Amino acid sequence: MIQLEHLHIEEFRGIRNIDIPLGCESFVVHGPNGSGKSGVVDAIDFALTGNIRRLAGQGTREVSVPQHAPHVSIRDTPSASSVSLTVRDLATGKTAVLKRSVETFSRYTLTPDDTDVRVAVEKARVHPELTLSRRDIIQYVVSPPTTRATQIQALLKLDKLGAFRANLGGAMRKAGNEVNASKTNLTTVENNFRAHLGTADVEATAVLTAINERRQTLGASEFTTLLPTTDFMMEVTAESGTTTVNLVGAIAETSALAASLADLTYVDAHRSTLSVELDKAENGNAILLAIQRRGLLETGLAAVTDEACPLCGLDWPTPEALRAHIAEEITQSEEARQFLAGLETPRESYVAAINDLRVEVSRVIPAAEEFGDRELPQLLRTWSNALAAHANEFSTNERTLRSAEELSVRRYNAPDGTTEKLTALDARLSALPAQSATVDARTFLALANERWTQVKLERERVEQAITTGEVADAVYEAYCQAMDEALNSLYYTVQEDFSRYYGQLNADDESTFSARLTPSQGSLAFEVDFYGIDMFPPNAYHSEGHQDGMGVCLYFALMKQTLGDDFRLAILDDVVMSVDVNHRLRFCELLKSEFPHVQFVITTHDIVWARQMQSAGLITGKQQARFYGWSVDDGPLYERSDIWDRIEEDLAKDDVNGAAHKLRRHLEAAAADIAEAIGASVQYRSDARYDLSDFIAAVKGRHGELLKKAANAANSYSDAVAMAKVQALRDTRATALHDQEGEAWAINPLVHNSDWANLSVNDFRPAFNSAREFLALFRCENESCGGWIHSERHSPESLRCDCGNYFVNLSARQAN
Amino acid sequence: MPRVEPDSDNLTATPLEHQVSEAFASKLRAAGLGEATVAELVRSFAARRTPSAEVLLEALKSPSSTEEAAE
């Protein structure tokens, strides 16, 4: 895994050009709403994954990375928009610069392109959840169980487990369908065989009785057993020039077909049942669309191999995110799936009835060819083909939905003229002289042999289908058990970690808190303890603030499970705001104690939060950036630690305007920060458009007041050392203020926006030096601290820094 | 039996996937399936692209699968 050493952003989202030294340590970016903090999160997210989570998901269909990631001023030049991250591979300590441009957002460059670092970067790339926004955290808590399961499975990279189970389940269902289909076919051919034999069933005794009777007539030996290899024509010699039609059978089957044709109400009944079922769909097209979509999505889900969607070609941050999205879409078509399940039986019954009729028709054709009207065979073939085609229209649920209108009329009626010609055939067959006993026996056995072969074939198919079905059931069961055991173990660990984190966060009133995660058939139930009363859904009784806290804790538990020791980086975008104000310190302690090796990059719009994190030791004074405001032209107004080096770079390039602009913005940011730190009162402006001079004046005044108090305090104690120290501070201040006031004109924007002003580096440098000297008055000299000095706004007792290196007492000795 | 080839992505299988794979193989053997079928199903699970229901069904229809199950 990697951690982040440095971030450089150019023309990206609301940021023009910014450098943030993250130092592979936890870092806080704080500032008011709309100051550009989230741009930093977007930039890290983009650099790592090539995507911006904020621009993905529900309600973001009209925005995209290529179109909306560049700064609005250069939106037509995506090549100018880029993010560079200096990353460190924690396994080897190697560093490299990862750079990603919006123009080629699906690729990144690594300089140097070190294999170890690339592997570590790839590990981060496939975990977009390293970036957590406030809107993400609640999804795990209040989602429906199936959605939660999908989301958490995607986070835990479990979607593959689910996809394999789904496909095994699909195989099992298809195997079951094949068993049913083969049994239906077997029934049809057995009925055909039985009808020919004239027996009540196709048991061996009945079959052999009918067969042996004919064999006896022909002088052939009798069978004592019926085996799959039994050949009814064994020892029976062919006789040329005689009919192959068995007259008795032909008469029976022709009569049967004529009877069916005269009364097709049994087919009508199946058609009616199917129609009723289809009418339950309010909108067949919508169901069809949902089903087509479902089929397409299931195919697509199985075909996902990388970030590119196999269905539409769009790039996603990770294959896992894409799979989770498709799985969610599939879930939404569940209603359609249930409708189809209800359609299955009536559809199959109707198709079976049609097929039975087709078999009846086809077995009369040989007799019609030999004894019927010359048009009858063709009429019967046309009818048989029409029945086959009609059955095919209902061979699947999808086809049935499309063919619903075909049920409005009898598509299984015989062609015109068939009834008359069939009746004529029946009459003719009945009028024929009886076949000789030997001819009857021979034709009977020949046809019996043909139909017996069909029965044997279908029996084999049924056996094969049943065996396959049993294997499919066993495999599905084995997989489900293996998966459920693993998931139960995993969810138990998550549940325990989650409960511990949340209990720690709410140690004041919910220290014995517990939770329960219960996976079940693709869903994940989540219940939490409410003050020892019982287990409830998390959104049943807990406040929204507590639910947010749960979301954060569940996120941490899941990330620990997902990444284990590789959980070394998390970017939390305004997430801490979700934590109840009374639990800030515990939250900081939780991060420190449970995740001491994780680099947290945290944004917050609450400065108190930032100070709390510093007080708790989660970050140092230097590990933070404060954004004061934002403008379209300049991006965030940002006080930065390396500003002096950057101004020197401009001066080295003779870019005085650039240097002056940076210095002015830095002074604006720093002065605002100092004003707040030392309790300086800035005159209120209703439009909040404060000028640099407003802050500078307030800061100078307050600083003077505090040093005067310091002098009084030192005098009250007759503390010579303290008096000398305060005097030194006042001397330094006098010099700094003198220089600063003398050179302030050089950073006035009016100067730099005027053609007449053409400042040289030498003209500008005194302003640069004086500004630096001025700001140094308020900064701790200890490099590891580097923070602004601060004091209480009311009744200040001391002027100090966070590390204690700078400390001036302001409390005078009380008179006795 | 249609054979599903695992690919290099299997190298990135998560610990949980390894755990499931091993338990799956063990339960298949306990269910009476032979080594050839077990190996094929485990390969299918390890494949980067999850085999479709049709492909899995064809694998289960192979003589070795059904004969082993019938024994």
User: Among A65-69, A206-210, A424-428, whose mean pLDDT is lowest?
Assistant: A65-69
From chain A, the residues in CB contact with B57 under 8 A are: 171, 174-175, 468, 472
Interfacial A residues in 589-628 facing B (CB < 8 Å): none
Q: Between A and B, how many CB-CB pairs are < 8 A?
A: 101
| Structural element, H or E, at residue A3 | strand A2-12
Closest approach of chain B CAs to the CA of A287, in angstroms?
22
The answer to whether residue B8 scores a pLDDT higher than 80 is no
From chain B, the residues in CB contact with A478 under 8 A are: 24, 27-28, 30-31
Q: Position A676: which residue type?
A: E
- Residue contact A160–B16, C-beta within 8 A: no
Using only C-alpha atoms, chain B has a radius of gyration, in whole angstroms, of 12
Q: Position A15: which residue type?
A: I
- Residue contact B69–A174, C-beta within 8 A: no
Give the C-alpha separation, A798 to A804, whole Å.
Answer: 11
Highest mean pLDDT among A189-203, A322-336, A655-669: A189-203
From chain B, the residues in CB contact with A299 under 8 A are: 52
Q: Position A468: which residue type?
A: T
What pLDDT score was predicted for residue A482?
92
Residues for chain B: how many in total? 71
Cβ–Cβ contacts within 10 Å for residue A560, how many? 19
What letter does residue A781 receive in the DSSP assignment? S
- Residue A759, burial from CB neighbour count under 10 angstroms (0-12, 13-18, 19+): middle
What pLDDT score was predicted for residue B7?
46
Interfacial B residues in 12-51 facing A (CB < 8 Å): 14-17, 19-20, 23-24, 26-28, 30-33, 37, 41, 44-45, 48-51
What pLDDT score was predicted for residue A284?
60
CA distances from A421 to A255, A258, A411, A499, A558 (A): 12, 10, 20, 82, 76
Give the C-alpha separation, A738 to A1, whole Å.
Answer: 51
What pLDDT score was predicted for residue A274?
93
In chain A, what is the greatest distance between 2 CA atoms, to the nearest angstrom?
A: 146
State pLDDT tens for residues A739-755.
Answer: 888 776 766 655 555 54
Mean pLDDT of B11-24: 79
pTM: 0.59
What pLDDT score was predicted for residue A379?
95
Question: A732 or A135: which carries more pLDDT confidence?
Answer: A732
Residue that has been written with the tokens 């808190």 in this structure: A513
ipTM above 0.95, yes or no: no
Chain B interface includes A173 (CB < 8 A): yes
| A811 Cβ contact list (under 8 Å, min separation 6) | A713, A797, A798
Sheet containing A624-631: give its strands across. A131-133, A569-573, A599-604, A27-30, A624-631, A635-639
**A480 touches B31 (CB < 8 A):** no
State pLDDT tens for residues A550-585.
Answer: 888 888 988 888 788 889 999 998 886 767 667 788
Of A470, A471, A478, the CB nearest to B24: A478
% chain A with pLDDT above 90: 32
Q: How confident is the model at residue B10 (pLDDT cuts 50, 70, 90)?
A: very low
Give the C-alpha separation, A370 to A604, whole Å.
Answer: 93
Looking at A616-719, list the stretches that DSSP marks H as alpha helix, in order from N- to C-terminal side.
643-652, 656-678, 692-716
Give the C-alpha separation, A424 to A437, whole Å.
Answer: 25
Closest approach of chain B CAs to the CA of A73, in angstroms?
41
Chain B interface includes A169 (CB < 8 A): yes
**A459 touches A190 (CB < 8 A):** no
Give the C-alpha separation, A800 to A790, whole Å.
Answer: 6
Query: Could you write out the DSSP letters of every residue in A343-390?
Result: HHHHHHHHHHHHHHHHHHHHTTHHHHHHHS-TTHHHHHHHHHHHHHHH
Mean pLDDT of A4-22: 91
Mutate to test the interface with A, among B61, B64, B67, B68 (most CBs of A within 10 A): B61
From chain A, the residues in CB contact with B30 under 8 A are: 478
Decide the pairing of beta strands A2-12 and A82-89: antiparallel
Give the N- to C-terminal CA distance of chain A in Å, as an integer.
63
User: Among A56-60, A317-321, A462-466, A719-723, whose mean pLDDT is lowest?
Assistant: A56-60
Q: What is the 3-state secondary structure (H, E, C) of A512-542?
A: CCCEEEEEECCEEEEEEECCCCCEECHHHHC
Q: Which residue of A has its CA nearest to B29?
A: A478
Mutate to test the interface with A, among B19, B20, B41 (most CBs of A within 10 A): B20
- Residue contact B52–A168, C-beta within 8 A: no
Query: Could you write out the DSSP letters of every residue in A783-796?
Result: TTT-PBPB--SSS-
Mean pLDDT of A358-370: 91
The answer to whether residue A10 scores a pLDDT higher than 60 is yes
What pLDDT score was predicted for residue A330?
76
Give the C-alpha separation, A301 to B50, whole Å.
Answer: 9
Mean pLDDT of A171-178: 87
Cβ–Cβ contacts within 10 Å for residue A18, how many? 20
Residue that has been written with the tokens 């001066």 in this structure: A651
Tokens of A483: 């998966």
Chain A interface includes B11 (CB < 8 A): no
Give the C-alpha separation, A389 to A371, whole Å.
Answer: 27
State pLDDT tens for residues A501-520.
Answer: 988 888 877 778 888 888 76
State pLDDT tens for residues A124-167.
Answer: 888 888 888 777 776 666 677 767 666 776 667 677 788 888 88
The answer to whether residue A97 scores a pLDDT higher than 90 is yes
Torsion of CA A397, A398, A400, A401, to 10 degrees: 120
Query: Could you write out the DSSP letters of every residue in A439-469?
Result: HHHHHHHHHHHHHHHHHHHHHHHHHHHHHHH
**How much is the mean pLDDT over chain A?**
85
From chain A, the residues in CB contact with B20 under 8 A are: 161, 482-483, 486
The interaxial angle of helices B53-60 and A437-505, nearest 10 deg, is: 120
**B48 touches B10 (CB < 8 A):** yes
Mean pLDDT of A642-664: 82
| A607 Cβ contact list (under 8 Å, min separation 6) | A30, A626, A676
Q: Position A52: which residue type?
A: I
State pLDDT tens for residues A666-713.
Answer: 888 788 878 888 989 888 777 666 778 888 889 999 999 999 999 999
